Amino acid sequence: MQLNIDEFCQCIELPHVTLLEIVELGIVEPSGATPENWQFDASALVITKRAMRLQTELQIEWSGVALALQLLDELEQLRTENSQLRRRLSRFEAL
């Protein structure tokens, strides 16, 4: 599923100006060179909804939301890596 900028903003009830700021901060990355050509996929919808929830619930600026999302992604990666390493270690401990 691909949405243009108008469809995307309408779908999540987001003003164009706010979407431009979100894209500028790297929270979502549309395909296309200019806003008129931007296309957003389903993952961009999920990320943007998550960002909007953080912004609303925590009352932080979009730059803070971008940082929070980056840190949450890094945390998830570290948890996944930790889990994999624990599984490897358990094989050696069983010997």
Domains recognised in the chain with CATH numbers:
5-93 (1.10.1660.10)
Q: Report whether pLDDT(19) > 80.
A: yes
Helix (H, G, I), strand (E, B) or coil at 18: helix
Write out pLDDT tens, residues 50-79.
Answer: 999 999 999 999 999 999 999 999 999 999
Average pLDDT across the chain, whole number: 95
Q: Which residue has the tokens 């200019």?
A: 34
Q: Report whether pLDDT(41) > 70.
A: yes
Q: What is the pTM of this model?
A: 0.82
Under 8 Å between Cβ of 50 and 14: no
DSSP state of 13: T
Residues 6 or more apart from 15 whose CB is under 8 A from it?
9
- The band of 95, judged by pLDDT with boundaries at 50, 70 and 90, is low
